[in-house]
Chains A and B, each alone.
Chain A
């Protein structure tokens, strides 16, 4: 479904992705874990075409999006929905318009049906009667859910979640986790989630990949990752302060201060 091969991306002298390979199976949720600043966001932004990598290929249903021009990319992006870390709701529009944005742009529904469609999408994320509210009036968890409703409004094949549970209290985080699972099961979307929240990762993942130093160093089921023999992955998933990652602190610091 999504095949990433030899993906390299750098910012100036700073190599973030260094020949990364990852295969995301269709209809499954792949969770990419890694420390802060290891390039998880860069990876999914490359996947959706927000960033252009220097090398490699990203095959979506067999088509390499890196060889597409802007117009073809627009077509491919219709297959994607993305939930941003901060929800990224448009401040200037109310909730209803935010959710309806892609519907209107793509003219997927006649204008008179839009409100019903939006209400349906909002109910899928457990919200109702908030179409007239402005994003500034919403709590963090509600923003995430509205963001999710907006991401799924155009019925994408692929959903990308950027730190879906970050900044939420544990209960709200679990509500989001349940939503992600239920969306996979009800619509059957392929999804990539990036997170460093291991509880969330174990709960929602069909497959977990560990990103370290610009490469995927281990891929496996949640159970395989939990019981890994790789010391780097083990340090990360167990959340230990001492281990191979922190021993190379100079490099770590370098990434943090990217």
Chain B
């Protein structure tokens, strides 16, 4: 693997870094182009209603168990941790507030986003990647069907709609998990806990979380579809695309979360 040009390590490194950055810029451009295409195809007939429903089932209904379990345990561990912390100040009554605010504002959307990245992002990238390398996407084109409209639009729309719904469930389960641990394991007063849960919780906390989740859903679907679309080189290429899709969509969940949080709060 030594370069015949005799470049030194630093130059090679710089070159590789440049290639990586260039590839990232290309990806970014491609994803944005895909986004614009999705927007332009979304409104044109025929409507992809059945496809959207199918993807909603895939992204929403089938992700529900993993999201619920994650959210419940997140709420539980949050209660446990904040309890042991707040005990030192004698402020254990605030555990409910902390759990509710953390879950609705931050952890519900982010964990649901990460779970969906892992589960749905991977399956989208793998499915589209396989279709790509077996020419099924080309086949779609020859059958007078735009692949973006047929494949990407339903996934993006479904993920955008369904992720907030998943987060609503995650919020509920997270709060219930925190309640369960606080009341049954740590002996908190259930009425105080519930009162504190809702005292500082505003509707704004919930809907900003849902907006975040919507954006996460859209980004996850776009990125995963993009990586599926550009897959090449058979099964190995599909595997690579899947990995890239999961990594990229998980990262974008966390990165976009920061920016949205700083804009919205």
A residues near B, CB below 8 A?
45, 48-50, 70, 74, 77-78, 80-82, 84-86, 88-92, 101-102, 105-107, 150-151, 154, 160
| Pairs A-B, 9 closest by C-beta atoms | A88-B139, A88-B135, A82-B142, A102-B143, A84-B135, A88-B136, A78-B144, A77-B144, A105-B145
State the CA gap A78–B130 with chains docked (Å): 25
Q: Mark B139-152, 1 if CB is under 8 A from A, else 0.
A: 10111111000000
CB distance from A170 to the nearest CB of B (A): 24
Other A-B contacts than A84-B138, A86-B135, 9 sampled, CB-CB below 8 A, are: A74-B146, A77-B142, A82-B142, A88-B134, A88-B136, A89-B136, A102-B145, A105-B145, A160-B142
Which of the residues B134, B142, B146 comes within 8 Å of A80, measured between beta carbons?
B142
CB-nearest residue of chain A to B141: A50
List chain A residues, Cβ under 8 A from B134: 86, 88, 91
Q: Are B139 and A70 in contact (CB under 8 A)?
A: no
| Docked CA distance A51–B228 (Å) | 18
Chain A residues contacting B145 (CB-CB under 8 Å) are 101-102, 105
Which residues on A sit within 8 Å (CB–CB) of B136?
Answer: 88-91
Is B138 a contact partner of A154 (Cβ separation < 8 A)? no
- B62–chain A nearest beta-carbon distance, Å: 15
A78–B131 Cα gap in the complex (Å)?
21
B46 at the interface (CB under 8 A from A): yes
B142 touches A81 (CB 8 A): yes
Known: A70-B146, A74-B144, A154-B144. A105 touches B46 (CB 8 A): yes
Residues of chain B within 8 A of A49, CB atoms compared: 141
Interface residues of B in 165-197 (CB under 8 A from A): none
List residues of chain B with CB within 8 A of the CB of A86.
134-135
Pick the most buried of A48, A84, A107, A150: most chain B CB atoms within 10 A of its CB: A84
Assembly CA distance A238 to B46 (angstroms): 51
Tell me the complex Cα distance, A45–B135, Å. Answer: 11
CA–CA, A207 to B146, complex, Å? Answer: 32
Rounded to whole Å, the gap between the CB of A236 and the closest CB of chain B is: 25
A residues near B144, Cβ cutoff 8 Å: 74, 77-78, 102, 105-106, 154
Chain B's interface size range is 10 to 19
B87-142, CB < 8 A from A: 127, 130-131, 134-136, 138-139, 141-142
Which residues of B approach A to under 8 Å, CB–CB?
46, 127, 130-131, 134-136, 138-139, 141-146
A106: chain B residues at CB < 8 Å are 144
Q: A74-B146, A105-B46 are in contact. Are A48 and B135 (CB under 8 A)?
A: no
If A88-B135, A88-B136 touch, whether A151 touches B130 (CB-CB below 8 Å) is no
Task: Report how far A77 CA is from B134 CA in the complex, Å.
Answer: 20
Q: Is the CB of B141 within 8 A of A48?
A: yes
Contact indicator B46/A90 (Cβ below 8 Å): no
Cβ of B131: which chain A residues have Cβ within 8 Å of it?
Answer: 90-91
11 contacts between A and B (CB under 8 A): A45-B138, A49-B141, A50-B138, A80-B142, A88-B135, A89-B136, A107-B46, A150-B143, A151-B142, A154-B143, A160-B142
**CB-CB nearest in chain B for A51:** B138
Give the distance to chain B from A65, nearest Cβ to Cβ, in Å: 13
Chain B residues with Cβ below 8 Å from A82 are 138-139, 142
A45 neighbours in B (Cβ, 8 Å) = 138
CB neighbours of A105 from chain B (8 A) = 46, 143-145
Q: Which residue of B lies closest to A77 (CB)?
A: B144
Which chain A residues border B46 with CB–CB below 8 Å? Answer: 105, 107
Q: For B135, list chain A residues within 8 Å (CB).
A: 84-86, 88
What's the least CB distance linking A151 to chain B, in Å?
Answer: 7
User: Shortest CB–CB separation between residue A13 and chain B, in angstroms?
Assistant: 16
Determine which of B127, B130, B139, B146 lies in contact with A84 in the assembled complex, contact meaning CB atoms within 8 Å.
B139
Which residues does chain B contribute within 8 Å of A88, judged by CB atoms?
A: 134-136, 138-139
Complex CA–CA separation, A78 to B141 (angstroms): 10
Assembled-state Cα–Cα distance A49/B139 (Å) = 12
Residues of B within 8 A of A160 (CB): 142
Q: Which residues of A contact B142 (CB under 8 A)?
A: 48, 50, 77, 80-82, 151, 160
Tell me the complex Cα distance, A249–B131, Å.
Answer: 34
**What is the chain A residue whose CB lies nearest that of B40?**
A70
> How far in angstroms is the closest Cβ of chain A from B186?
48
A154 contacts which chain B residues (CB < 8 A)? 143-144
In the assembled complex, the Cα of A107 lies from the Cα of B47 at a distance in Å of: 13
Residues from chain A with Cβ under 8 Å of B127 in the complex: 92
A160: min CB distance to chain B, Å: 8
> Least Cβ distance of A169 to chain B in Å?
21
Give Cα A77 to B139, complex, Å: 11
Minimum CB–CB distance for B77 against chain A, Å: 38
Q: With a CB–CB cut-off of 8 A, which chain B residues contact A80?
A: 142
Tell me the complex Cα distance, A176–B135, Å. 20
